[in-house]
Chain A
């Protein structure tokens, strides 16, 4: 039996050749995406990171003096509270989406029968219709002169319109309305993929339907819940349109601050620092997700 010595010369050569081929392949296949990532993701982030340490002049011009003011304003002041509120609203939305989404997902998976495709269709269509128009439609429904208020006044239940817009309730409702489909679908996929015999085994082993749900079904659909939570939580943290339309100037979220600084005030250094903080928040969330749920879960969710 020949003993394998250290790599012989020809073997080393073969490895070298393979390495060269790999470099060539990486260049051929991955250079477009690498350019996108480096030039249009990392470079812009680096620019706003740089700008967030600069000052802004009275007319929106950038003054090239190094300062920590912008960052300090977020970490210490009222902006920090807005960030916390964004995370709080996102968690609340996520929780409500699970609460509303699980029953319907469960119903479709277990009792949907032949109409499964129809149900799923009815859930997907709103989620892929224009985001802006859906929010507008919801506003039409709940606004001060909206359908609900008009209806209630006409039948005499109330005399003054209820103020729904520009409240925490309105923002939360709109967030749930916008993102609920993205919670239902992964949960449904997980439930639908569940092996029926596992449930039968649980019943056979003496679990009541109630106990069975908590001891078998729920743990087995954890993947779907995680995926749904990623899909709902991540976009809601940085939401701008919902607080803009349903919160007005009363309920601000981190996304509205960034947009406000850039589009209304024109204070680029401050806007940059807020955007960087928001990005950092998301990277932290992303990091925790990968650490707990694994990269696979994240990619699958998307």
Chain B
């Protein structure tokens, strides 16, 4: 009887320690972002001045805008490609389908340095694409659209395709069927993939670093360039905002999924 009560307690302690391990550095960053210490690495009284500094920092603002534009375009294009591809992979049976599926996995499983360097050489030495927005966005689509494919494909496997047949049977053309039935039913999955791709693209450093060229500083590249100087208070504020936005994003995804579940639980 005593043993049974002991086991959960030990597990609880281990779990809490693990959580502390995962969170302690982040919490320090958040705390230091409000600290007066000019190196941002110890507590010297409360201040908001680093946030003011962040807000007035043109470099940060440019980098943020650049990252937002890149992630925005990437999300739209990747989700579109992901939806169409998942539909094709689900519906069609053909020779080489497994090969194609494996090939689509490659950009996800390859180390970023491989994808980044290969694309860099490809862009600069073969097709002479100017480094900057085009190269970054193409690179992001390359590693994000496979993600969308597999997220949406996963949902499609749990989708009742009789809905689609019923719509066709009731007189809706394939296009109308997609607009009225299949599309609305897949929407939660499409939204979820968009919400996962956005941080994926926004946060990417390695691949972007390879193909960005000079002058296309995204937010992660800015952070990386600041890291050379060790701890800085501005990075702390960026980190704090990052965690906050991620939390809000997670909550949004959670509620979208919950909505999707309740509307499809027939």
Contacts and interface: CB of A to CB of B under 8 A. Distances in A.
Contacts of A259: 113, 117, 206
B21 A133 contact: no
B256 to A, nearest CB: 15
Interface in A232-286: 234-235, 237-241, 245, 254-255, 258-259, 262-263, 268, 271-272, 275, 278-279, 282, 286
A158 interface: no
Nearest to B26: A137
A41 interface: yes
Given A47-B125, A122-B23, A129-B26, A238 B113 contact: yes
B220 interface: yes
B111 A140 contact: no
A171 to B, nearest CB: 16
B57 interface: no
A110 B239 CA distance: 33
Interface stretch (B84-92, B162-170, B179-187): B84-92
Nearest to B243: A129
A43 B227 contact: no
A73 interface: no
A54 B123 CA distance: 18
A237 to B, nearest CB: 7
A110 B92 CA distance: 41
Q: How large is the interface on B (under 10, 10 to 19, 20 to 34, 35 or more residues)?
A: 35 or more
B1 interface: no
Contacts of A268: 121, 125
Interface stretch (A3-11, A24-32, A194-202, A220-228): A24-32
B224 A132 contact: yes
Interface stretch (B45-53, B58-66, B137-145): B137-145
Contact of B18 (A34, A42, A104): A104
Contacts of A13: none
A203 B139 CA distance: 53
Contacts of B68: none
B109 A286 contact: yes
A30 B7 contact: no
Given A125-B247, A302-B150, A136 B11 contact: no
A279 B110 contact: yes
Given A129-B243, A272-B121, A299 B88 contact: no
Interface string A127-144: 011111110111111010
B230 interface: yes
Given A44-B122, A132-B220, A145-B41, A29 B109 contact: no
B112 A238 contact: yes
Nearest to A34: B100
Q: Quick one: which of A111, A137, A180, A234 has the most chain B CB within 10 A?
A: A137
Contacts of B205: 131-132, 241
B22 interface: yes
A298 to B, nearest CB: 7
Nearest to A261: B117
Chain B at the A interface: SS class: helix
B85 A29 contact: yes
A34 B94 CA distance: 14
24 contacts: A34-B100, A41-B107, A47-B126, A100-B18, A104-B19, A106-B11, A121-B247, A125-B243, A132-B224, A133-B29, A134-B25, A134-B26, A137-B239, A140-B41, A181-B22, A234-B109, A254-B111, A262-B120, A272-B121, A275-B114, A279-B114, A286-B102, A295-B98, A295-B101
Given A30-B100, A136-B231, 17 more contacts: A32-B84, A43-B122, A43-B126, A104-B14, A104-B15, A108-B15, A110-B8, A111-B11, A119-B15, A125-B247, A126-B23, A126-B26, A131-B203, A132-B223, A147-B41, A245-B227, A299-B154
Interface of B: 3-4, 7-8, 11-12, 14-15, 18-19, 21-26, 28-29, 32, 40-42, 81, 84-85, 87-89, 91-92, 94, 98, 100-114, 117-122, 125-126, 138-139, 141-142, 145-147, 149-150, 153-154, 199, 203, 205-206, 209-210, 220, 223-224, 227, 230-231, 235, 238-239, 242-243, 246-247, 249-250, 254
Interface of A: 22, 25-26, 28-30, 32-34, 36-37, 40-45, 47-48, 51, 62, 100-101, 103-104, 106-108, 110-111, 117, 119, 121-126, 128-134, 136-141, 143, 145-147, 150, 177, 180-181, 184, 209, 234-235, 237-241, 245, 254-255, 258-259, 262-263, 268, 271-272, 275, 278-279, 282, 286, 290, 295, 298-300, 302
